[in-house]
């Protein structure tokens, strides 16, 4: 037992006062005898004994009364079980990612968690609240009530390790109590491995009852017909026993197609036909799972021809004219001697086709061209010098040529995951007629190869940067040195190279991807492009590049939907933004990761536990009660004991 005011215990010396009073009242009396008083003598003896008992009882009650009163003023208490953490600061981490849209026993997981916080958090409790995107430091439930009630689902995934880093960086003289409210979808071991156990982390993991969910993953042009586009929609089903799903296609909010999908497999693909014209709409489904992935917004711009130019001998460039047809490309070939350098900045892709030497003036021009979003393809000549090639490539990356080797080599490996082959192959091809080269340069490249020889050395590699692509062949591909021009790989490869960073298909930007986007518009120096939607607008980071503007969106916009780019009040282009589909699989609940930490069902349980473990047991009230009881007992003794 401990005392809040132990100095008051010195007043226990006052207990000597009633003792002294009692001794004074019990002084000896002188006995006097009278005649014929036998009966009176017996009565006096009885009265004297009764008086002694009464005075001793009064002494005991007064001593106990005074003792209890003094102890009550000293305020005795029993120390709390966890008293050393009584001054801890509380941090509540609330997951508001899209997976928290799932429905539990009492509704959507996030809304129920917010309701419990509002109902069960003590008004006097000070805490800090952190969500996926917002931080409220050193606040109370009244101050954040409005923010909690208006809390929206976040397109930013729940990254516990990043939020815990914020908590750790928040300087405080006290230790921390951390309460983490999450459904644990996608939770990884790295998220919890750096948690300090001394910080008393608690996990509240609400559980979804309905884990079936259907997600629209992507939309793309499957094939281009004379007057129509055939677009494909890829969907994923997570869970078991799906009901038929209604799917609809809208252009400018006008319904243009509708169908029903039966999920007999986890992955489904449907094809829809739309007119070959500009499109600005979305495809949607109706299911009982999450709602954030039930729409995918996309745009298709009015088709523009891609400008491609090749530099080299005309007879070695005939194969390019068969790939870059006039229906989709503005293709021209020039010998180096007749090249107009001013025309290069208007191109989208420039192919250096077996030039014996790349002049310094051309190197300088191409360096500026690439920095502004242009694509360059380098096909070396047998007469090229290694030093000249390396001098040119030094402007863009770390690819280096070695000496030319006369050795026949087969091209046997395709990197199906490379961006230049994305969407080209439905299945991975393992056996095809391998093309070959008779002579080739050795290449040292830190970048993934697009095509490789049988000895794993690269035949085609690419330097990818955020604005452009530099594709490098290790060997000449003229008919005398290689049969690659007869390979079925040449058409998709050169087609994708020319279209790199060009808007030739479906526009569906993922929020937070940070991939640059190029708008074909000629701006004045001080002009600014603005992106506008139905409900909000923002100004992206932008860089003017001759006849185009590079836009970087970062984490904007916050809401998925269809938007438009404006130069002041003049419409420039349509854009579509979508949320990441990382939250769609509700079966990825990793509760085993938090098995070593304390868990609770509700926030009220945590508050009650902390209060019980950290609150001292005050017992001074009991001494007040005892003092009153002894006072009442003293009065009763005085009144009723004779």
Residue range 145-159, pLDDT digits in tens: 999 999 999 988 888
235 or 242: whose pLDDT is higher?
Answer: 235
**pLDDT score recorded for residue 12:** 79
Q: Is the peptide bond before 110 cis (omega within 30 degrees of 0)?
A: no
Q: Residue 43 has what pLDDT?
A: 52
Q: Average the pLDDT over 363-391 and give the result.
A: 92
Q: Can you tell me the mean pLDDT for 354-365?
A: 94
81 pLDDT higher than 80: no
- pLDDT tens for residues 517-555? 888 888 877 889 999 998 889 999 998 876 788 899 988
Question: The tokens 């499109």 sit on which residue?
Answer: 279
In the prediction, which pLDDT does 34 show?
53
Which of 13-22, 68-77, 167-176, 572-581 reaches the highest mean pLDDT? 572-581
**pLDDT at residue 485 in the model:** 93
Cβ burial, residue 7 (10 Å; 0-12/13-18/19+): exposed
Residue 375 pLDDT greater than 60, yes or no: yes
| Strand duo 127-130 + 89-94: pairing | parallel
> Would you state the pLDDT for residue 541?
92
Determine contact, residues 367/392, Cβ cutoff 8 Å.
no
pLDDT in tens, 100-136: 999 988 889 999 999 999 999 988 889 999 999 899 9
| Distance (Å) of CA 357 to CA 382, 386, 479 | 11, 10, 20
Q: What is the dihedral of CA 539, 541, 546, 548, to 10 degrees?
A: -60
Q: Say if pTM beats, i.e. exceeds, 0.75.
A: no
- C-alpha distances out from residue 225 to 229, 231, 471, Å: 6, 11, 30
Measured torsion, CA atoms of residues 588, 594, 598, 601, in degrees rounded to the nearest 10: 0
Would you say residue 299 has pLDDT above 90? yes
CA distance 603 to 581: 30
> Average pLDDT for residues 299-312, to the nearest whole number?
89
**pLDDT grade, residue 430 (50/70/90)?**
low
Please report the domains of the chain, with CATH numbers, ordered by start residue.
2-77+619-640 (no CATH), 84-210+587-615 (3.40.50.410), 306-499 (3.40.50.880), 507-578 (2.60.40.10)
User: Is pLDDT of 63 > 90?
Assistant: no
Confidence category of residue 371, pLDDT binned at 50, 70, 90: confident
Taking each continuous run of H as one helix and of E as one strand, the counts in the chain are 12, 36
- pLDDT band, residue 175 (cuts 50/70/90): confident
The tokens for 542 are 């932008």
Read off the pLDDT of each residue in 203-215 and give the average, rounded to a whole number. Answer: 90
């Amino acid at each position: 037992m401990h005392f809040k005011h132990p100095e008051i215990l010195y007043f226990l010396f006052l207990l000597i006062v009633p003792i002294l009073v009692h001794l004074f009242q019990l002084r000896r009396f002188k006995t006097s005898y009278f005649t014929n008083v036998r009966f009176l003598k017996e009565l006096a003896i009885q009265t004297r004994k009764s008086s002694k008992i009464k005075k001793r009882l009064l002494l005991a009650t007064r001593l106990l009364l005074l003792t209890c009163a003094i102890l009550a003023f000293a305020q005795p208490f029993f120390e709390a079980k966890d008293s050393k953490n009584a001054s801890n600061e509380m941090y509540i981490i609330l997951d508001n990612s899209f997976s928290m849209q799932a429905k539990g026993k009492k509704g959507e997981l996030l809304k129920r968690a917010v309701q419990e916080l509002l109902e069960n958090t003590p008004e006097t409790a000070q805490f800090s609240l952190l969500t996926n995107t917002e931080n409220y430091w050193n606040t109370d439930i009244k101050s954040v009530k409005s923010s909690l009630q208006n809390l929206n689902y976040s397109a930013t995934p729940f990254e516990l390790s990043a939020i815990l880093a914020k908590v750790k960086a928040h300087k405080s003289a006290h230790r921390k109590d951390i309460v983490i409210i999450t459904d644990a979808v996608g939770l990884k071991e790295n998220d919890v491995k750096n948690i300090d156990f001394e910080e008393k982390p608690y996990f509240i993991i609400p559980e979804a009852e309905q884990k079936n969910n259907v997600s629209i993953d992507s939309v793309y042009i499957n094939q281009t017909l004379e007057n129509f586009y055939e677009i494909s929609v890829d969907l994923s089903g997570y869970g078991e026993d799906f009901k038929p799903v209604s799917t609809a296609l809208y252009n400018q909010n006008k319904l243009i197609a509708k169908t029903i999908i039966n999920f007999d497999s986890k992955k489904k693909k449907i094809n829809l036909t739309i007119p070959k014209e500009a499109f600005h709409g979305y495809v949607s489904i109706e299911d009982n799972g999450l709602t954030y992935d039930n729409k995918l917004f996309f745009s298709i711009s009015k088709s523009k021809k891609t400008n491609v130019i090749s530099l080299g001998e005309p007879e070695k460039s005939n194969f390019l004219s068969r790939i870059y047809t006039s229906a989709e490309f503005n293709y021209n070939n020039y010998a180096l001697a007749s090249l107009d350098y001013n025309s290069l900045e208007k191109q989208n892709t420039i192919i250096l086709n077996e030039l014996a030497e790349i002049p310094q003036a051309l190197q300088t021009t191409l360096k500026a061209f690439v920095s502004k979003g242009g694509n360059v393809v380098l096909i070396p000549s047998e007469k090229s010098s290694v030093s000249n090639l390396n001098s040119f490539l030094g402007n863009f990356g770390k690819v280096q040529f070695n000496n030319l080797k006369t050795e026949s080599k087969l091209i046997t490996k395709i990197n199906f995951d490379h961006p230049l082959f994305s969407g080209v192959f439905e299945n991975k091809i393992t056996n095809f007629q391998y093309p070959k080269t008779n002579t080739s340069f050795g290449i040292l490249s830190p970048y993934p190869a697009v095509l490789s020889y049988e000895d794993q050395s690269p035949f085609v590699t690419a330097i990818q940067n955020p604005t452009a692509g530099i594709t490098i062949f290790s060997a000449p591909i003229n008919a005398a040195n290689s049969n690659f021009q007869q390979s079925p790989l040449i058409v998709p490869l050169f087609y994708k190279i020319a279209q790199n960073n060009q808007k030739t298909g479906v526009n569906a930007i993922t929020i937070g991807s940070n991939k640059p986007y190029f708008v074909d518009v000629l701006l004045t120096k001080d002009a600014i492009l603005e992106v506008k939607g139905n409900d909000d607008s923002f100004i992206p980071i932008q860089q003017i590049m001759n006849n185009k503007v590079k836009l970087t969106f970062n984490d904007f916009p916050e809401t998925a939907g269809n938007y438009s780019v404006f130069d002041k009040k003049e419409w420039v282009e349509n854009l579509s933004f979508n949320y990441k589909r990382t939250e769609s699989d509700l079966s990825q609940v990793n509760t085993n990761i938090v098995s070593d930490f304390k868990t609770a069902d509700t926030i009220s349980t945590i508050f009650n536990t902390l209060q019980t473990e950290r609150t001292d047991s005050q017992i001074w009230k009991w001494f007040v009660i005892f003092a009153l009881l002894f006072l009442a007992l003293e009065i009763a003794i005085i009144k009723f004991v004779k």
